[in-house]
Structure 1
Amino acid sequence: MKVRLLASSDAESYWKLRLEALKQNPEAFATSYEEAIKRENPIEQVATNMDAEGSYTFGAYENETLIGMVTLLQEKHQKLRHRASIFAMYVTPEKQGVGIGEALLKEVIKTAISIDEIEKLNLTVVKINERAKGLYTKLGFMSFGLEEKALKIGNSYYDEEYMVLFLH
């Protein structure tokens, strides 16, 4: 398994894995699968996002297949540039539990530390996702809040926990 920063040339494989993530774990993402497949030129949008300043998307590969991903996004406003957020964390189900998520997050943390402005990382995680929360806690993230009924899928609500990692 190899983790690397994705480039715009990886947009198609990223989009394929993103759609899988939205289908497999709809409660873990604000975007629905149904919304995602209606996007015009999604691969071009992904490629543009990958080239955007302050945006870093990492992928985990097994052989030539993308099996995991995570995005680090630094805030753009001057007063907020000390913050970055982690989004779109996903590892394909058959590869979960073997350290891929941890490798992806360690790469994100290492990258954030290398950017002098970034002092803290924020993320949200669905409260019921104990496995993910365990990984985040293991890497030093601390819970600082809970949003009840943050997501609604059909008639079901999901609470989101806010977590932070201070880098300096």
Structure 2
Amino acid sequence: MMAVEMRELGEADAEAFSALRRLVTADNPVPMGLTLEEELSRPMQGFRDQLSAPAPNAAFGVFADGQLRACAALAWTNRFSSSMHKALLWGCFVEPGFRERGLGRQAVSRALDHARQNSVRRVNLTVFLPNQAAVNLYASLGFQPYGLEPEAVCLGGNYHDGQHMTLVL
């Protein structure tokens, strides 16, 4: 039985976060929406900045056997009171060898709890297609599709649509 711990990620987790992103992208770049070469070009300081963004922004990690295996994050797109009722769910991914164990659901659920604690009314996200596992997970949590962006990303000469989904809390 694996020991599982969930906690908020911070600047000190940037290397583990980046390493997990690279594993996920190497397995299949479509869910991440960028190529492995693009992922490898991202500076570590960018990850440190993302993981230390001011509250209420937050990223949550699921650690299994002491290693970061899954994560999910929330970002507020601006600080104006007129938009503080909504947040963007991003950075949701699970290490390939740890999928279908509920770790992604745990991370996303924790992020949604954080949204509720911060008086968020609506959470939006984008899934690059095909990614039926992610669409199924989000739908099971109550997310509804609200639009499709044709050719949202081009990876290796292949275009992939972006499915926009939303959840009213």
* Same fold flag (TM > 0.5): yes
TM-score (norm: length of structure 1): 0.90
1:91 corresponds in structure 2 to 94
Whole-angstrom distance in 1 between the partners of 2:153 and 2:122:
25
1:47 corresponds in structure 2 to 48
What secondary structure, in the 3-state scheme, does the structure 2 residue paired with 1:31 have?
Answer: coil
Whole-angstrom distance in 1 between the partners of 2:158 and 2:78:
34
Runs of 4+ residues over 4 Å off in structure 1: none
Which amino acid letter does the alignment assign opposite residue 122 of structure 2? K
Map 1:63-102 → 2, pairs under 5 A? 63-78=65-80, 79-102=82-105
The structure with higher relative contact order (CA 8 Å, sep 6+) is 2
Whole-angstrom distance in 2 between the partners of 1:29 and 1:93:
13
Deviation at 1:77, TM superposition (A): 4.1
Is the 1:75–1:82 Cα contact (8 Å) retained in structure 2?
Answer: no
The answer for unaligned runs of 5 or more in structure 2 is none
Whole-angstrom distance in 2 between the partners of 1:99 and 1:55:
23
1:119 corresponds in structure 2 to 121
Map 1:16-165 → 2, pairs under 5 A? 16-39=19-42, 42-53=43-54, 54-78=56-80, 79-116=82-119, 118-165=120-167
Which amino acid letter does the alignment assign opposite residue 17 of structure 2? Y
Q: CA RMSD in A?
A: 1.4
Q: Number of matched residues?
A: 164
Cα deviation 1:58-117 (Å, max 9, x = unaligned)? 11101211111111111214132221111121101111011111101110110000002x
